[in-house]
Homo-oligomer: A and B are copies of this chain.
Amino acid sequence: MSDTSATAYARLKDRFARIATLNEAAAMLGWDASAMMPPGGGAARGEQLAVLAGVSHAMLVAPEVAGDLAAAGAEGAWGEANLALMRRAHRRATALPADLVEATARANSACEKVWREARPRSDFAAVRPWLEEVVALQRETAAALAGATGLSPYDALMDTYQPGILAADVEPVFAAYEAFLAEALPRAEEVQASRPAPVEPQGPFPVEVQRALGRRLSERAGLDYDHARLDESAHPFCGGTPTDVRITTRYTPEAFGQAMLGILHETGHALYERGLPEAYARQPVGEAAGMAAHESQSLIIEMQASRSDAFLSWLGPELHAAFGGDPAAYAGANLGRLWRRVGRGFIRVEADEITYPAHVILRFRLERALIAGDLRVAELPGAWGEGLQGLLGIIPPDDARGCLQDIHWHDGAFGYFPSYTLGAMAAAQLMQAARIAVPGLDEALGRGDFAPLVGWLRVSIHERGSLLGFQELMTSATGRPLDPSAFMEHLRARYLT
C-alpha cells in the first residue's frame, strides 16, 4: 500500500464519516417529524431535510472525490469492501444530474401530498397526473443509473434498496411462490375452517399497560433503552441511528395484538442497527446490508420467533397478567389461532404470512412494467384488479383498497417492494439455520428468552454490516443463497398441517 493510496483512503473515510453524520442528523429529524413535530413545523422541516440532503450530496460528488477514489487503496476484506461501496455510492450519485434529483424530490413530495388527500376519497383521477410525473422522472433516473452501473433500468432502481439482487433473481423465486400459493392458500383455509374459532380477548386494554408491556417485550428481545426510545406515530417505523434507535408503534385501547407484535417487528430492525460493527460506524461497510436484509431481521423476530408456538406459550400468561379477563383467550394455542389467521384481503399491510407475498408479487410486476414503459399509469387500476384476481381471486371494490393503498410509488419508491418478501423468505431460511446452529433455541423462546436467537443473528448478520453482498451474507449464514424453500416449509408446517 503506497503512502498516497493510504492517504487518499483516509481522506475518503473522513469524508464518508461526515456524510454519514449529516445523514444521522437527517434521520433524527425524520423521526421527530413523524413522532413529535407539531403540524405547523412541517414546512420548515422539509427545508431542513432538503438542505441537509443537498450538503451531503455535494460532499459526495465534490470534484476531489473522483481523484481520491482512483488513487485510494484499502487493506483487508473490510477495507476493500468499504472502498468498493464508496465507489458505488459515488458512481450512483454522479450518475444523476442535479436538476433531475431536484425535480424528483419536488415531484415526489407534490404527488405524496395529493395522494394523502385523494386516498380516503379513492380518487385515482386526482393522483394520476402527479403519479405520471413521478413515474416519468423515475424512468429517467433508472436510465441514468443503468448507464452508470451496467444494470437494466429496473434493476438499477432495485439496487438502490437491496444491492446485489436483480429482477432475474426475484422472478423465479416469485414464480415458485405463485405456484405454491395456488395450492397452499385453499388448503390453509380448509385447515383453518376445521379448527375451533379463536376466542377474542375482551378489552379495554389500557394504553399505559400496553406501553409498559411493549417496552418489556422489546427489552426481552434484546433492546437496550440506554440506546433506544419507544414512541408513537401514525405509521410505525424504526428510525434514528445505531447508538440511538427510535422505534414507534400505534396503540388503541380496543386491541393490543397489533401494537405488541408491531413493537417486536420494529425491535428486530432496531437490533440490527444496534448490532452493526462499531469499528466501521459511519462507513459504508458498517451499514446494514440492504432493505431485504433489514426486513429479514424484523420478520425473524416478529413472524418467526414471536409467533412461534414456543414463544406464544410463554407470552399468553404475561398478557393475561397484564390485561386480565378470560384465561382461555390467552392460551398459546388460542393466540396462535388469533395471530396466524389466513384470509384473502385487499390490503397489503393487513395481510397474513401466506398472502402477503401475493401483494408484493403484484406490485413487483406492475412497477417493472411501469418502469419498462409497458404499462401506463392510466392503466394501473385495471391492471391491479386483474393481477390481484389472478393471485388471490379477488378484485378491490375501489382504488383506495387497490392501487392507492401504498405510499411507496406516490413518494417515488420503485423497486422497494420485493424487499418485503425477500426479507420474509430470508427470515425463514435464517431461522432454519439458527435452529440447527443453536441447540435449545425454541426452548429458550418458550421461556421468553430471545438471547440465543439474537446472539446468533448478531454474529451471523448484524456484525457483518455490508462486508458481504446479500447472497454472500445468506450463504455465509445458512450455507446457501436465498431460496424460497425454507419459507414454504415454514408455511406448510404452520398453516397446512
Contacts and interface: CB of A to CB of B under 8 A. Distances in A.
Contact of A244 (B24, B38, B227, B229): B38
Nearest to A244: B41
Contacts of A52: 22, 25
Interface in A12-32: 18, 21-22, 24-25, 28-29, 32
Interface stretch (A42-50, A106-114, A171-179): A42-50
A interface residue count range (under 10 / 10 to 19 / 20 to 34 / 35 or more): 20 to 34
A446 B227 CA distance: 47
A9 B25 CA distance: 30
A24 B46 CA distance: 12
Nearest to A281: B44
Nearest to A43: B243
B225 A22 contact: no
A227 B25 contact: no
Contact of A37 (B38, B40, B44, B244): B244
A44 B229 contact: no
A267 interface: no
Contact of A41 (B37, B55, B243): B243
Contacts of A241: 41, 44
A25 B40 contact: no
A310 B148 CA distance: 72
Interface in A388-417: none
Nearest to A59: B55
Q: What DSSP secondary structure best describes chain A's contact surface?
A: helix
Contacts of A242: 44
Nearest to A35: B36
A475 B205 CA distance: 60
Contacts of A229: 36-38
A243 B37 CA distance: 11
Interface string A197-227: 0000000000000000000000000001111
A36 B36 contact: yes
A243 B28 contact: no
A479 to B, nearest CB: 35
Pairs of residues from A and B, 8 with the lowest C-beta to C-beta distance, nearest first: A41-B244, A40-B227, A40-B226, A21-B51, A25-B48, A44-B243, A21-B47, A39-B226
22 contacts: A21-B51, A22-B55, A24-B44, A25-B25, A25-B29, A25-B48, A25-B51, A28-B28, A28-B29, A28-B48, A36-B36, A37-B229, A38-B225, A38-B244, A40-B224, A40-B227, A40-B228, A40-B243, A40-B244, A41-B227, A41-B241, A55-B55
Given A25-B51, A36-B229, 20 more contacts: A18-B51, A21-B48, A22-B51, A22-B55, A24-B47, A24-B48, A25-B48, A28-B28, A28-B48, A36-B36, A37-B244, A38-B227, A38-B228, A40-B224, A40-B228, A40-B243, A44-B241, A44-B242, A45-B244, A55-B55
